[in-house]
Amino acid sequence: MRRLRNVKIVATLGPASNDYDMIRALFEAGADVFRLNMSHGDHAEIGERHKIIRQIERDTGRPIAILADLQGPKLRVGTFANGEEELTEGQSFRLDLDEAEGDSSRVRLPHREIFEALEPGAHLLVNDGKIKLRVKSCGKDHADCEVLVGGTISNRKGVNVPDVVLPLAALSEKDRKDLEFVCGLGVDWLALSFVQRAADVAEARALAKGRAAILSKIEKPAAVKSFEEILEVSDGIMVARGDLGVELPVQNVPPIQKRLVRKCRAAAKPVIVATQMLESMIESPMPTRAEVSDVATAIYEGADAVMLSAESAAGSYPIEAVTTMNNVALEVESDATYYNIIDASRGGDKKTIADAIVSAAREIAETTPITAICCYSQSGTTALLVARERPHVPIIAMTAVEATARRLCLSWGLHCAITEEVDRFKSAVVNAVRAAIAEGFAQPEDNIVVTAGVPFNQPGTTNILRVAPCEERLIFKTEPE
C-alpha cells in the first residue's frame, strides 16, 4: 500500500461513506486520514465508523490516522413567525434576547456574549455572509443595526462576527462531551473549531490529557492575528477557508493560506488546507478546472495534506473525489518545477543536533545515490523535522509506538512503519533496511540513510546518521557492535 506521492489526503466520512466496503475503497483510492465530523452523527455512528477504520488498519497492515473535528460553538439567530423574512438594504433591524418569534424588524440572537462584545460600527454576517449588518447602537441585550446587504433571513441561520474577539470558549458543552468520547475511542487528532487565541488550545489540551494531538482550525480573523501564539501551542493547523472566506474579504484568503502554510512548515508542524477543494464533485464525477488548480496550488505551496469534506461524506462520487485528488497530487509532484518551489521555501530555525542530523540526511540523499531516508522516532519529533526538509527521496518513519505512527500519517512524505523496540544501532539499521525493501523503497543493491538516537526509546535524542548499504546490512544479525 505504498503511496507514490508526498502530500496526504484527508477524507471526511458521512452518509455516503458509512460502511466497511466504501471506507476501504476510499483508503485504497488514496485516503491517508479519515475525518469524523462531530457536527453530524451521534456517538453510536461515530463509534461505528471508528471501529471500521481500525478494522481496515488491521486488514491492510498499515497505520491510519483518525481526525475528530469538534463542532465548536454555533452562533445562530432564532426563529421567525413566518419562517423567513426579506431584509432590504438601508432598513433597520434589531437583534435581541427577546424569546418572541422574529419578524421583519427583529429576531432573537440567543448569545448574550455577542452583545457584551459588540461596539457601534461592528459588522455581523448572517447566512454565510449573504446578509450584512452594521451595528448602529447596542446594549447588553440588543443591537440595532442597519442592513448593508439585504436578502432572505430564515430560521436558525448562522451568524459571524468578524470585527471583535468574542468572549466565548472554543469548546461548548457538547464539544466537551464529544472530546471525552472520541479520546476514549482512541482518535489520533482533535480538530478544534472557533479558535481565537492560544488559551483556547490550552483548554482543549488539558482536557485531552495527551490522548490525542491538537489541531487548531484557523477560521476567524482573530486567529490569523494571533497565529504565531496559536501555532506554538498546537500540534498542527487546518486552514479552514470556509468561515475565513466569510469573515474576511475573499481576496485575502489566498495570501493568508500561503503565509500560514509556510509558517507551519518552518515550525515542523503539519498543516491541512481545507474547504471546497473539489466542491462540484458532490454532484458531478468531474471537478472544475478551477478546483483542480486550487488543489494543485496547495500542493505546490508544500501543504502536508489536502482535505475533502462533503465530497466524500455526502456526495455522489466519494471514490472519484479521492482518486481525482490523488491524481492531481501525482501530476504536481512529478512536475519539474515542484521541487524548485519546495526547495526555495525551505526555512525554519535550526539550532539543535536533531536539526543538523536531518538537514545532513537530506543533503546526502540529494547528492548521492540514496533511495530513502529512514528515521527512528519515539515521539514523532524527528520524523516531523525530516518532513520539514522536504527531501527528494521517500521518508520511512519507524517507531515502536502505534499512536506515533498513526499521528504521523498526516504529515508530508512520511510512510509510517511500526517496528519492534531496538536497543542497539546495528539492530536499528538492519530493521530499517528490511523495512525499506519490504515496502518497496529500496532494492538489495541500494543505499539508504538511517537516523536514530542513542540511547534508544527516549524522545529527543536523535544524534546518529549512517549511510547503510542494503545488501551488506541484510546479512547482519543483531549481535552487539
Catalytic residue list = 35, 76, 217, 275
**Whole-angstrom distance, CA of residue 15 vs CA of residue 336:** 40
Cβ count within 10 A of residue 71: 16
Residue 20 CA: distances (Å) to CA of 54, 121, 171 = 10, 52, 31
List of E strands, 358-438: 370-376, 395-399, 414-418
Name residue 125's beta-bridge partners: 132, 160
The number of residues in the chain equals 481
Nearest to 3 by CA among 322, 220, 269: 322
Cell of 315: 456526495
CA 395 to chain centre: 20
Residue 275 gets the label, from left (phi > 0), alpha (psi -120 to 50) or beta, of: left
**Whole-angstrom distance, CA of residue 226 vs CA of residue 247:** 16
Cell of 239: 486552514
Nearest to 405 by CA among 384, 431, 380, 375: 380
SS3 177: helix
Pairing of strands 92-96, 305-308: unpaired
**Whole-angstrom distance, CA of residue 135 vs CA of residue 162:** 12
Q: Which residue has the cell 453510536?
A: 44
Nearest to 359 by CA among 372, 371, 346, 369: 346
Dihedral (C-alpha) 386, 407, 200, 194: value to the nearest 10 degrees? 100
Pairing of strands 8-13, 33-37: parallel
Cell of 35: 475525518
Q: Kind and range of the H or E element at 478?
A: none
Q: Which residue has the cell 470556509?
A: 242
Cell of 207: 482536557
**Whole-angstrom distance, CA of residue 463 vs CA of residue 267:** 20
Cell of 79: 426563529
Q: Kind and range of the H or E element at 191?
A: strand 189-192
In contact, 227 and 218? CB cutoff 8 Å:
yes
Peptide bond into 444 cis (omega under 30): no
